[in-house]
């Protein structure tokens, strides 16, 4: 650690650790983010590491070098704790969704394709992200995607914990039964991608959100069970009218068919019918849209984020 200067203010504090901005002493132009993992307080844990730390480090290691996944530079000790030195990324997708004006569809296409590139790479290597949210998609100064926060990521197994993915981004199959472990696939990440695209197009975060004290909002499970109740859906073949998903996705509905179709192919109840990452990457309309991004469009967004 003697090679680095650690900024005293935290970049962020998550459930699993604190993140600091760090500069190289030899070359102060070189800026990194250092995540210092919380130690395990589990009785009998001899190594002092949380499972999530081991998962995050092994996932970052397995996926290192991918252009749209956070860059892992070094694993080191900071004081008594294990830390990872990563690339420093100034924005997250949350900043883009919550800026004053909605992001143009060209930017939505480019960002979503870059997220899909990262997911396709993960899924090909048999990893599931399991916590794709607006805050976990980081962005460089020119809005290049770096998918991060792999604390819940894991290799696919037959039975996995159902208690995963931040609620508003959780796929319907994770709500289908109360068992602690469930059988699901990497299609859960594609649902989360569908929610992120819808949030960008709707210009609103947490479209499917949790109940908050004092405000009438829908719980994710209520929405998903009412709209996508598998039994009801299978019986009638069409979505029950209890909850109007078209109302929630009102701006998406107004988009041209090719855009609308992709969102609905991702927000598909049956995980077997849901668009895969490779299937998403093959969407010609999105690819050509993403190529129309102009430097001006990027400037407008980054300037707005800076002015918030």
Ligand X SMILES: Nc1ncnc2c1ncn2[C@@H]1O[C@H](COP(=O)(O)OP(=O)(O)OP(=O)(O)O)[C@@H](O)[C@H]1O
**131 belongs to the catalytic site:** yes
Feature table: binding site for ATP: 35
Residues 1-30 that bind ligand X (CB under 6 A): 11-12, 14-17, 19
CB of 141 to ligand X, least distance (A): 12
Q: Is 236 helix (H, G, I), strand (E, B) or coil?
A: helix
Assess 84 for contact with ligand X (CB under 6 A): no
Assess 138 for contact with ligand X (CB under 6 A): yes
- Exposure b/e, 159-184, CB count within 10 A at least 16 = b: ebebebbbbbbbbbbbbbeeeeebeb
- Using the minimum distance from each CB to ligand X, give the nearer residue, 276 or 302: 302
- SS3 string of 76-144? EEECCEEEEEEECCCEEHHHHHCCCCCCCHHHHHHHHHHHHHHHHHHHHCCEECCCCCHHHEEECCCCC
Assess 264 for contact with ligand X (CB under 6 A): no
Applying CB under 6 A, among 4, 22, 33, 117 the residue interacting with ligand X is: 33
- Exposure b/e, 81-120, CB count within 10 A at least 16 = b: bbbbbbbbbbbbbbbbbbbeebbbbbbbbbbbbbbbbbbb
Assess 63 for contact with ligand X (CB under 6 A): no
CB of 13 to ligand X, least distance (A): 6
CB of 50 to ligand X, least distance (A): 10
Give the binding range for ligand X (CB under 6 A) out of 147-155, 199-207, 249-257, 294-302: 147-155
Q: By the criterion CB under 6 A, which residues form the site for ligand X?
A: 11-12, 14-17, 19, 33, 35, 70, 86-89, 135, 138, 148-149, 151
Q: Which residues are catalytic?
A: 131
């Amino acid at each position: 650690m003697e090679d680095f200067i650690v900024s005293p203010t935290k970049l962020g504090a998550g459930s699993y650790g604190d993140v600091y901005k760090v500069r190289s002493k030899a070359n102060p132009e070189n800026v990194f983010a250092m995540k210092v993992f919380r130690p395990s307080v589990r009785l009998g844990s001899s190594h002092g590491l949380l499972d999530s730390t081991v998962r995050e480090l092994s996932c970052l290691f397995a996926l290192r070098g991918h252009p749209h996944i956070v860059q892992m530079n070094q694993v080191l000790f900071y004081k008594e704790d294990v830390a990872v030195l990563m690339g420093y990324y100034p924005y997250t997708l949350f900043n883009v969704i919550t800026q004053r004006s909605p992001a143009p569809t060209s930017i939505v296409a480019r960002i979503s394709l870059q997220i899909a590139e990262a997911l396709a790479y993960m899924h090909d290597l048999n990893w599931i992200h399991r916590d794709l949210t607006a805050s976990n998609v980081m962005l460089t100064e020119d809005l290049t995607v770096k998918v991060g926060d792999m604390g819940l990521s894991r290799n696919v197994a037959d039975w996995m914990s159902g208690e995963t993915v931040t609620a508003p981004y959780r796929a319907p199959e994770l709500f289908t039964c109360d068992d602690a472990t469930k059988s699901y696939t990497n299609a859960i990440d594609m649902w989360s991608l569908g929610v992120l695209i819808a949030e960008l197009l709707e210009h609103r975060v947490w479209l499917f959100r949790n109940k908050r004290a004092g405000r009438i909002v829908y719980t994710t499970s209520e929405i998903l069970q009412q709209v996508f109740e598998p039994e009801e859906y299978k019986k009638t073949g069409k979505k029950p009218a209890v909850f109007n998903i078209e109302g929630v996705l009102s701006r998406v509905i107004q988009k041209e068919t090719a855009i609308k179709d992709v969102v609905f192919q991702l927000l598909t109840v049956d995980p077997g019918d849901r668009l895969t990452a490779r299937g998403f990457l093959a969407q010609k309309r999105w690819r050509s849209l993403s190529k129309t991004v102009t430097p001006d469009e990027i400037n407008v967004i980054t300037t707005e984020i800076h002015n918030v």
